[in-house]
Amino acid sequence: MDTLQALSVAAAVRRIGSFSGAARQIGVTPAAVAKQVAQLEASLGLRLFDRNTHHLAVTEEGQALLERVSGPIQEVQDALATGRAARVARGVVKVSVPATFARMAIIPTLADLQARFPEVQVDLRLENRRVDLVAEGYDCAIGAALQQDSSLVARPLATLRPVLCASPAYVAAHGEPRTVAELASHRCIVMRSETTGRLRDWELTGRGRALRFTPGGGLQVTDPECAAAAAVAGCGIALVGLHHVACALMEGRLVRVLKDMHGPRFQIVIYYARRRLLPQRTREFVDHVLATVPATPALQACHAARVATESAP
């Protein structure tokens, strides 16, 4: 027997004055109401109602008990209703995501999410860093694959690869490097880590080997999209994720150099705190991203270009 439910039924009988009236309000049969009242009385060892075929009256003991519990029962029912309502997708989903990835793969899908869940508000914070979800109040984040972290769930969205590229004007003026060693005589656009401040070496694979190259040049940036823009402007050679330069390559504003060398593959993932019960708004956003983002035209084009890169001799 569900004691709370039985007390709620008995309180309804007392308030309305009949089993049949209470049954109509609750949406069950009078026999079901009578059965729950009888089970409650047996459990309590207390008669709550005097009844016969024509009359129903609350006993003195029943009156005292049901008056005392009616308020708390309503409070519990209100709290349960609030909990059930929380399972409806509504509220703000705060998401950290790199600006380029947001523009190419997240923003194009959001109209569909808004149509299906009009009470969900998406707060995109455009930043290229790992965030502390709990300390910074994020519901989820999107970025490069993390080191294994048992407190997080990480679901892959795309596999990408950095490529070496420069503007046609730069190649015309300075020539095209034929080997990694020749990169030392070129202007390179160097990435500086936002977190450590250190300049990043280039890890390159291809031609059956992997090597590390320390780029030199007059331009250092902390943002990969800025590095891509600098390459388009003719500032030098950049090693940048394919998703940052796919459009410029297709439009001829950039060209690949050392086409058989590239950076190591990396994954873009969506990650969130490992919880047994996620807020429904977060669950719906994560499910939406997993279902739609990999199929966006930009990521499909990047996938095709990456496969072509990897299959090149």
| Least confident residue range of 37-41, 144-148, 194-198 | 144-148
Task: Give dist(CA 297, CA 100) in Å, integer.
Answer: 14
166 in the same domain as 146: no
115 in the same domain as 179: no
178 in the same domain as 235: yes
154 in the same domain as 174: no
* Domain count of the fold of the chain: 3
At 223, phi and psi to the nearest 5? -125, 125
252 in the same domain as 171: yes
Average pLDDT estimate for 298-313? 66
CATH of the domain at 245: 3.40.190.10
State the DSSP string of 233-255. TTS-EEEEEHHHHHHHHHHTSSE
Give helix then strand counts, H and E, for the chain: 12, 14
Instruction: Evaluate if residue 169 carries a pLDDT over 90.
Output: yes
The single residue listed with the structure tokens 């709290």 is 79
pLDDT-derived band at 18, boundaries 50, 70, 90: confident
Q: Which residue has the higher pLDDT, 71 or 281?
A: 281
Asked which of 85, 110, 128 is the last residue of a domain, the reply is: 85
Q: Are 131 and 116 in contact (CB under 8 A)?
A: no
Q: What is the separation of C-alpha 99 from the centre of its chain, rounded to a whole number of angstroms?
A: 15
148 in the same domain as 14: no
> Domain range holding 15?
3-85
Per residue in 182-197, pLDDT (tens digit) is: 999 999 999 988 778 8
Q: Are 280 and 88 in contact (CB under 8 A)?
A: yes
Task: Give dist(CA 98, CA 128) in Å, integer.
Answer: 5
pLDDT-derived band at 313, boundaries 50, 70, 90: very low
CATH of the domain at 22: 1.10.10.10
276 in the same domain as 154: yes
